[in-house]
Structure formats: structure tokens, C-alpha cells
Amino acid sequence: MSCPLCKGKASWKNNPYRPFCSERCRLIDLGRWAEGSYVIQKTDKKGFGIGE
Amino acid sequence: MGENLLKIGYDAESIKVLEGLEAVRKRPAMYIGSTGATGLHHLVYEVVDNSIDEALAGHCRKIGITIHVDNSITVEDDGRGIPVKEHPVKRRPTVEVVLTELHAGGKFENKAYKVSGGLHGVGITVVNFLSEWLDVEIKRDSHIYHQRYEKGRPVVQLSVEGESSETGTKITFKPDPEVFENTVFNFDKIAQRLRELAFLNAGISIVFTDERSGKAIEFKYDGGIVSFIQYLNKTKTTIHQNVIYFTGERDGTEIEIAMQWDNGYSEKIFSFANNINTVEGGTHLTGFKSALTRCINSYAANTNLLKDLRESLQGDDIREGLTAVISVRIRNPQFEGQTKTKLGNSEVEGYVKSLVNEKLSMFLEENPSTAKKIIGKAVEGARAREAARKARELIRRKGALETSSLPGKLADCQETNPALSELFIVEGDSAGGSAKQGRDRRNQAILPIRGKILNVEKARFDKMLSNEEIRDIITALGCGIGKEDFNLDKLRYHRIIIMTDADIDGSHIRTLLLTFFYRQMMPLVEGGYLYIAQPPLYKAKKGKVERYIKDDAAMDDFILGSVCETLTIRSACGENGLKGQGLVKALNWVARFNCILRKMSRRRMEEGVMEAFSLERGFNADTLKDEKTLNGLLDGIKAHLSQRYPETTPVRFSIVPDKGKGTFMVRCYSRKNGVQIETVVDLAFARSPEFQELRRLGTELDRIGRPPFYLEAGGTTSEVDSFRALMDRVFEIGKRGFYIQRYKGLGEMNPDQLWETTMDPEKRTLLQVRIEDAIEADGVFTRLMGDEVEPRREFIEEHALEVANLDI
């Protein structure tokens, strides 16, 4: 299992921060949600991002 | 003053000595901290520190420490040996004065030693006072001198015991069990301190022997504190290879600094003053930190490495992942703090600052690639700090609002029992409006959210959830967020239903929401509280009958099912008059067959050619081994094409060897919209899963036969001459009389329709989000996020195929 943020190792069992490896990573992730920096790009019909 | 003391005479002097001894034995903790393990081990360090002082003064290279079986300790060095001549004032051998008079050591006058350790300045005298017995042996001036003490008092006169050309001091002592609770020494504890001393005093050899276990170990580090850093970082992944090291002197204070960054986030700075580990820091540490921050910031600003960062780097950002050792040697150390391990000399702060500014700046200038890595890491740290601050703000603001004020956009339900309540998170204001009107307000709450659209570049639209949306969701759910704040008991709805449009935008919003819940509110996913609504994509109406249909596949099933009630199909070689369920089945095979061909044609292969090969019984992977057989098949293929796909003619074939495979391949040149297309039929094609599937379907298609087909419906008959045309005609007939509406979004449905199709617990279907679904959403999210372009394109290509497979 890898941490969604730092891609380091994260255990599932007995890990209060799961799926993150640490409180630090969890908090940074939450911060990114809060600042609206998580963005999904719209794609065209063929499935490629427009403008690439 | 010396003269006066002399006249006072020996008696007064000896009374003073006895007073000192009594004071120490009465309150040992005042001198060595405690009478527990710490105090006991402190005795060893005091004696070793004396030897280290000799080393610092340049007179000693080797120190030996031995724990004997009875837990007595020997410390031996090759220094100059404690002086033995009669003390000019005390009229006794100097060594005896040193061992029996507090504050008698040479170090207090700053002359014998330029700098010295010795934490409390009580040194060896206290060790003697607190020992059951102590033997001192001094090699000096070609002689070996010896004297023994018991409980701090000399029991014999200092005497010559032999001759030696060497010099040095050897002290053996046994801590007094009347003073210490426990007199057993801990090997590891002493070893750790000795290793530290060896690091701090480059080149000195410290041999540690434990006669109780037979263990012996030598500490000697020519690299000094650089070796110390390497030792501390040996299991770490460092971001630059070489340890940064510099040394210098400011007004008699010697300063040595070594440091290195690893890819972690913790900060490990060890500071020492005269070999004492200043656990509480002090002026040297303060000076280092402030100069480090200033230096890195000014270099980063000058080289334009801070780019889009809004503010300058803070000390914490820079020190993430830093391991550093600061060692200063100073004439008059002042130790402060609870445990006397904080350096107090104010002038040292300026000295260290000035050295770091000078040397670190120079290092950064000379090593730009290392500098870039260090600053890159600090920038990452600053971003993390900023994100964490925003996260805390988000939580805090939520805390301030708490239940008392729910989001304005939320239309809450009347029910107060969470187990019976549902929350619909609905994308878009208009859909939110319909949902609010259509819902059962007794137990269904609606929270409309908007996936904010950012028009970042010319034609690129990006979707995100704004800070406000995130906050509204957290507040509406009521269960808090984060390790400390999250409380499942406070969750206000036990069904959280994500309701988004059935298009790409809707799926992106759903992915964002699922990812957020998975990452930040895992217990909701694990507890099975999350659901996905299934709004219909189509409405089909014929007469008074209305049907809602959830997606394209369901739509095809529906049309096919209804048309087959009235349609009959005949062909030359198939079953006579196929209709009803048999026909539905057969047409499904045809649809699948067409679908695979269409998919393959997207890879620039001619559909007709592939169809012909897959329907040709004589062709398989083996045929490709034999040029003659292959050639024999081509006429049939050509005939198939000119009959069924006249637009592709003229068709030309060439058979060529497939290099290295021992087979042949057929290159088929056909035309499409006036352009020549080359379709290659080779071993890879014949073995591909697609072709295998086509072959299998070819057999199934025997029931319906081969073109041309005759379709009879409503008293009329029509003819089609290919599989592709067959399906088109069937759907054309099927759709007759139906009014089909495609919902572009939830907003197009009126409140009643939305209730009836998607929200009514009696009729709706909900998908419960399992943990695997959420993990997958996270994966999709990560790849769609947009900062990694390449993996994203690969992912979409890969999934475009999967999706196509699902459509079949």
C-alpha cells in the first residue's frame, strides 16, 4: 500500500492516518483540498486532454 | 595571599579538605546530578574528560577505558601525567591536591588548558570522594608513581613504584555502594558517550573494554564530525553525497560544523560545547539556525530558486531532513538551564553566525547543484507547511461554525435519527433545485455542490472542488475530520448518496468526491455509508408507456428486446424465420461481432478484410505457415469484399515472409474514402484475442446465417447485405414509434422524474461504495489530476479500451 501523497510505504492495519503514511501527509492532502489545488482536466471524446 | 595561606598552616588547610569531602558525600546529587544510574556513569565521564582535555591540548592520542568484573573502572591515557611535585602553596604532591580539593584542577585557571570540558568543574575530586577506593598511577619524569585512596582519603603516601620512559595517567576506582543505589555499569551507555567523544575529537583512539563480557571496541574517527554525520545518516537516503563541513576560529573560540540533508522531514541537530552535549541548545545553536536560514534564503533569492513561493523560506522548512553537528571549543563555557546543558556565552552566537555566513555562502556558490537540491527540498517543505496551515484553517473555521450553523445551501431533513436519514450530494444548482423539490423531506437532505470549472488555458477546462464545497460537506456531515476531530457518532446521515450527471463531467466530480472521502474520511467508506445514485440516461416513450433507461447498453437491450417481438429474419443458410428470444440472442452475437470489428478498425485496419478472414473457415494461425494454401484463400476473401464491401475495391494482396517467424503475412491494400489502407494479416493478428473472439462468434453466427438477410416486420420485408447493415436496420425498425429522450444532466429531469427514477427508495437502485471502488477512484484521480501528463495519457488510452470492452 503506498501513501497517496508521498508514495512512500503506508500500512493499512493500525494506522490511524490510512491511507496516508503519516499525519503530515494527511494534513498536506487536506490542505490541497482546502486550497483547491486538486484539479481534474476535462478530456475530449477521444479521451485525450485537449490542448496537449 | 599565597604567603598568608602558608602561615595558616597545614591544619587549617586539612580541615578545609575534610569539609569538602563531607559536603560531597552528604549531598552527592548536588555534584553529579543523582545517585542513580546517571550519576554513576557520570563518574566515568568525569575521569575520561580529563584525558580528553589532555588530548585537546595536544598531549594525548590514546585513551583506554575498562570495566572490571567487580564494576570498578580504569581510565588510562598517554598524556603528560598529573604533576607529582610538591604543590607550591599546599605543600603536598599536586596529584593529591587534585584528588582531594574541590576546584583545585588546572582547568580553573585557564592556563594549563586553553579549553576544557568537565561539566560541573568538580572533576576527578568528586569521583575520588564517592569511590570506595581509588588507585592512581602516574608515569612521568621517567618514574611510575602510585597512591591509593579510600572514601576520598589517601591511605598511603605517594610513592615511586618503578621506572618508565612513557608518560600518562591511569586511574582505577570503584564507586562506593554506600553512595550509589546500584553500582553496575551499562556497556552501551558508556559506549555511546565514548563514540561521541571519538567523533568530536578527530583522530583520537578510545579503546573500551568490558572484562565482564570480554567485549572490546575501539572508537577512532579520522573524519571527526563528518564521520559523525555519516554514522547518523547511514540508514538514510541523503539528497547530496558529500557532508558539508567547515571550521574556523573567532576570537579564540573554535567552531566546527558538519551537515547533510536526507529525504526525510525530521531535524536532527546535535550541538556540543567543549565536548559536552548541549541537549538544551544555547547560543551556538541559535547562531547556527539563524545564519542557516539567512544564508539559504539569500542564495535562493539571488539564484531565483523561490519562483512561485509567496514568502521566504522559514527555518523549519530549511531544516526538514537536516542532520547537523555543531561543536564549539570555548575558553570559559557557561552552562545554564535545567540540566546545565545549555550554552550561555552570548558572544558565541555572533561567532557562529559570522562563520556560517561566510563558509556556507561560499559552499553554496561553489556547489550550485547541491544548493539547488537543498533549496528544492526546503521549497517543498514551505509548500507543505502552507498546505497544512490551510488544512488547519479549514478545520478551525468549521469548528467555529459547528452544528449551530449548517451550510446555507443544505436543505436538511426533518428526521433527527442519523440511521434513518439520507444526504444527497448533488452536482449543479439546477439539479439541486429539482432534488430539493422532488425529495421526501422527512428523511432526505440535499446538499447541492458545484464542481468549479476553471478555464485555465485556451480550450482546457479543469474541474475542482472549491474550499467552500469541501467545508460545506464537512459541516453538513457533522462528523468532523482528522484523527482527533473525527467522530463517527456525530455523523448526521447514515446514507451519503453522491448524485452526479451520467456524463464525463459528472464522473469527474464523482471521482473527486470519492477520493476526498477515501483519503480524509476513510471510516465512512469502511463503514459502508457511501452510495452512488443511478440516474437514467434515457427516457423511451411509446404511446402511454414510459421507460427510464440507465445507459447506452441498457438502451440497446431495450430496443432489441422490443423489436424482436415483431421481427422475423431469414437468410439463405441460417435457421428459417428466427424471431423472439432466439433472435435477441443471435442479434447480440452480431452486435458483439460488429463491435470488435469496429474497435479493430480504429487501429487502421479494414473492417471488411478482417470480417472476411474471420468468416473464412480455412484460415487460422497454421495457414500462415504455407504460402500456397494462403494464396488459395485469397480469391474467396476478394469475392467477399467485392460483394459485401464494394467501396473497398479494388483490393490487392501481397504475401511476404514474416521475418524470423517462419510464417508468411498477407498485406491487403484496400481503399477507404479514396485513401489506400494497408491491413496486415500475420501471426500476431491470427493469435490476437480479438481475432480469436471473432472466430468464436463466427461459429455462433451460423444460426442467423450469412448475408443477405431478409427482415419481415409489420407486413413489409427489406433486405440488407452485411452484418453491419443488419444491426443498423434492426435498430432503425426498433426505434420506430418510440420517443427517445436523452438526459444531458440531472437538471433536465423535473422533480417528479428525479424522485421516481433516482431518489424513491422503493424504485431506485443505489450502488454502495466499497473500499475497492474508493481505492480505484483514488487511482483514477491521481492519474487524471493533470500534473503527470504522460502516465495520464497512457492511462486514458488503456482505459479507453477497457471501457470499449464494457460497452460490448
8 Å CB contact of B784 and A41? yes
Alpha carbons B602 and B616: distance in angstroms, whole number = 22
Q: Per the CB < 8 Å rule, is A34 touching B393?
A: yes
Burial group, residue B433, by CB count within 10 angstroms (0-12, 13-18, 19+): middle
Asked if B778 reaches chain A (Cβ–Cβ under 8 Å), the answer is: yes
User: Which pLDDT value is given to residue A47?
Assistant: 41
pLDDT of residue B66: 97
- In the prediction, which pLDDT does B122 show? 63
| H or E, element range at A7 | none
Q: Which residues contact B244 (CB under 8 A, 6 or more apart)?
A: B258, B259, B260, B360, B363, B370
The B residues from 449 to 468 touching A (CB cutoff 8 Å) are 452, 454, 456-467
Distance CA B73, CA B127 (A): 11
Tell me if B460 and A26 make a contact (CB, 8 A cut-off): no
Q: Which of 262-281 (B) contact A at CB < 8 A?
A: 265
B481 touches chain A (CB under 8 A): yes
A7–chain B nearest CA distance, Å = 11
Residue B393 in contact with partner chain A when CB distance is under 8 A: yes
Angstrom distances, CA of residue B97 to CA of B10, B12, B125, B195, B323? 13, 15, 9, 31, 43
Question: What is the Cα–Cα distance from B390 to B117, expressed in whole angstroms?
Answer: 47
Q: ipTM above 0.85?
A: yes
Contact status of B470 with chain A (Cβ, < 8 Å): yes
- More confident site: B603 or A51: B603
Mean pLDDT score of chain A: 76
Distance from CA of B461 to the nearest CA of A (A): 5
pLDDT value for B595: 86
For position B103, what pLDDT does the model report? Answer: 67
Look at residue B697 in the predicted model and tell me its pLDDT: 87
pTM: 0.62
| For A20, nearest residue in chain B (alpha carbons) | B519
> What are the grid coordinates assigned to B66, written together?
575498562
Q: Can you point out the beta strands (E) in B85-167?
A: 131-140, 143-150, 153-154, 159-163
Q: Between chains, do A27 and B467 touch, taking CB under 8 Å as contact? A: no
| Cell numbers standing for residue B376 | 528544492
For A38, the closest chain B residue by CA position comes to: B464
B142: Cβ–Cβ under 8 A, 6 or more apart, which residues?
A: B163, B164, B165
Average pLDDT, integer, range A3-23: 87
User: How many beta-carbon pairs under 8 angstroms link A with B?
Assistant: 133
Distance from CA of B467 to the nearest CA of A (A): 5
Task: Report the residue from B390, B519, B796 with minimal CB separation from A34.
Answer: B390
Under a CB-based contact definition with an 8 Å cutoff, are residues B445 and B454 in contact? no
Residues 503-562 of B with CB under 8 A from A: 504-505, 508, 511-512, 515-516, 518-520, 522
Give the Cα separation of B91 and B339 in Å (integer).
37
Residues of chain B with pLDDT under 70: 1-16, 103-122, 308, 396-404, 454-461, 574-575, 786-808
> Which cell numbers in the block locate residue B783?
492519474
Retrieve residue B438's grid coordinates: 422532488
- B230's enclosing H/E stretch is helix B225-232
> What spatial distance separates the first Cα and last Cα of chain A, rounded to whole Å?
32
Nearest chain A residue to B774 by CA: give it.
Answer: A19
Q: Which helix (H) or strand (E) holds B786?
A: none
E strand intervals along B278-393: 322-329, 335-336, 342-343
Residue of A4, A26, A51 with shortest CB distance to B458: A51
The per-residue DSSP string of B398-452 comes to HHHHTTTS--TT-B--S---GGG-EEEEEESHHHHHHHHHHS-TTTEEEEEE--E
Contacts of A29 in chain B (CB under 8 A): 387, 519-520
Q: Are B223 and B202 in contact (CB under 8 A)?
A: yes
CA distance B134 to chain A (A): 53
Q: In 10 A of CB A44, how many CB atoms?
A: 13
CA B437, CA B445: separation in Å to the nearest integer? 11
| Cα nearest neighbour of A29 on chain B | B387
The mean pLDDT of A4-10, rounded to a whole number, is: 85
Please list every residue in chain B whose beta carbon sits closer than 8 Å to the beta carbon of residue A31: 386-391, 394
Q: Are B72 and B174 a contacting pair, CB within 8 Å?
A: yes
Integer-rounded Cα radius of gyration of chain A? 15
